[in-house]
């Protein structure tokens, strides 16, 4: 097995992302571990990687199923000098990095679903969870980018509650994929896009995100805290919000929620 601290650290040294790694056979949540490391001063690019999580987190206190021996669970510390309102750009950027990665294995079938899902043939293969520490005075202190990718998990092993809407790279590509190779490529993609974001801004990353998304022009609904907003998707803005036009043509910006395409 090559998915261990020694091999990962050796292959990732000299990189901006992954220059320092902490590997766990088992951890509650890589996001929580990375958050603690960042609070104690760990530098940008530090990555926590785990073989298994016992309390993997989704958004809004949801769970992320994280069994051992098959998938990628990683959280990266970034310290961008940006206004906290632009932090959602990091989530969308990460989606693009993962979509580029998975497209190498399943060309044409990878889509992005706002705000944080990567899908293959419409099924969720990856979720991104970004968490931030920031203050009005100092701006962003750090952002934790958490990424869970279903790599070699088999369909029967998914929790029944989402078995029909989840998938793995192995299920879609029809073969086992090396987690080491994927992790190295993922960190390379992230490093390139993050550098681009800092130097050139969000524009071209947003365009790539929109190319991967099948939501633009579709009627969708977004549910957040029991509130439902419906409309036709126009795009995303520089704050990472989903821009929709309601039935009267009024433009609304949605900052958070679960979006789904409404069958017309
Ligand atoms: C997410 O939340 O999609 C963000 C998931 C982030 C997980 C990574 S793993 C590394 C890092 N450390 C952590 O603790 N977290 C991050 P959300 O959009 O809220 O989706 C959660 C929902 O997806 C759950 O309620 C389930 O319905 C479903 N789900 C849970 N585990 C799944 C899995 N392995 N594959 C596909 N869907 C899953």
Q: What is the pLDDT of residues 24-79, one digit of tens each?
A: 999 999 999 999 999 999 999 999 999 999 999 999 999 999 999 999 999 999 99
pLDDT of residue 149: 98
d(CA 163, CA 149): 15
d(CA 34, CA 30): 6
Burial class (CB in 10 A: 0-12, 13-18, 19+), 65: middle
Percent of the chain topping pLDDT 90: 89
pLDDT of residue 141: 97
Per-residue pLDDT tens for 187-217? 999 999 999 999 999 999 999 999 999 899 9
Asked whether the predicted pLDDT for residue 10 surpasses 70, the reply is: yes
Bigger pLDDT: 138 vs 45: 45
Q: Over the chain, what is the mean pLDDT?
A: 95
Of 146, 185, 156, the C-alpha closest to 30 is 146
Residues with CB under 6 A from ligand 1: 29-31, 53, 56-60, 62-65, 73-75, 116, 124, 127-129, 146-148, 150, 162, 166
Distance 147 CA to ligand 1 centre (A): 9
Distance 98 CA to ligand 1 centre (A): 15
Distance 127 CA to ligand 1 centre (A): 5
Please check whether residue 40 is in contact with residue 66, taking contact to mean a CB–CB distance below 8 angstroms: no
pLDDT of residue 56: 98
Minimal-distance CA residue to ligand 1 atom 37: 166
- Closest ligand 1 atom to Cα of 162: 27
Asked whether the predicted pLDDT for residue 264 surpasses 80, the reply is: no
Across the range 122-151, mean pLDDT stands at 96
113, two tokens:
């679903």
Minimal-distance CA residue to ligand 1 atom 25: 62
Measured at the alpha carbon of residue 58, what is the angle toward residues 169 and 212, in degrees to the nearest 5?
Answer: 50
Distance 150 CA to ligand 1 centre (A): 10
pLDDT of residue 1: 65
pLDDT of residue 162: 98
Across the range 163-182, mean pLDDT stands at 97
Percent of the chain topping pLDDT 70: 99
Q: Which of 95-104, 110-119, 212-221, 255-264 has the lowest mean pLDDT?
A: 255-264
pLDDT of residue 226: 85
pLDDT of residue 16: 87
Please check whether residue 76 is in contact with residue 42, taking contact to mean a CB–CB distance below 8 angstroms: no
Q: Name the pLDDT band for 263 (thresholds 50, 70, 90).
A: confident
- Closest ligand 1 atom to Cα of 62: 25
Fill in the DSSP letter of residue 211.
H
Minimal-distance CA residue to ligand 1 atom 30: 64
Asked, as a colleague might, if the bond just before 47 is cis with ω within 30 of 0, I would say no
């Amino acid at each position: 097995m090559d998915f261990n601290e020694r091999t990962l650290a050796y292959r990732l040294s000299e990189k901006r992302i992954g220059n320092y790694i902490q590997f766990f056979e088992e951890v509650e949540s890589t996001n929580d571990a990375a958050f603690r490391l960042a609070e104690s001063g760990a530098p940008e690019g530090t990555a926590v990687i785990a073989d298994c999580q016992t309390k993997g987190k989704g958004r809004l206190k949801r769970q992320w199923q994280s069994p051992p021996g098959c998938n990628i669970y990683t959280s990266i510390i970034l310290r961008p000098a940006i206004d906290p309102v632009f932090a959602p750009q990091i989530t969308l950027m990460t989606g693009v990095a993962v979509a580029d990665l998975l497209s190498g294995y399943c060309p044409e079938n990878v889509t992005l679903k706002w705000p944080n899902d990567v899908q293959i043939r419409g099924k969720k293969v990856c979720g991104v969870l970004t968490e931030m520490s920031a203050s009005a005075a100092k701006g962003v202190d750090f952002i934790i980018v958490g990424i869970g990718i279903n790599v070699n998990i088999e369909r029967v092993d998914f929790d029944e509650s989402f078995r029909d809407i989840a998938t793995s790279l192995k299920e879609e590509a029809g073969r086992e994929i090396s987690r080491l190779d994927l992790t190295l490529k993922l960190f390379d993609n992230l490093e390139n896009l993050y550098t681009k974001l800092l130097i050139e801004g969000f524009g071209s990353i947003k365009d790539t995100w929109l190319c991967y998304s099948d939501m633009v022009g579709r009627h969708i609904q977004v549910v957040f805290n029991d509130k439902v907003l419906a409309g036709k998707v126009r795009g995303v803005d520089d704050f990472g919000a989903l821009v929709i036009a309601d039935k009267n043509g009024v433009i609304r910006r949605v900052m958070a929620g679960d979006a789904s395409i409404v069958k017309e």
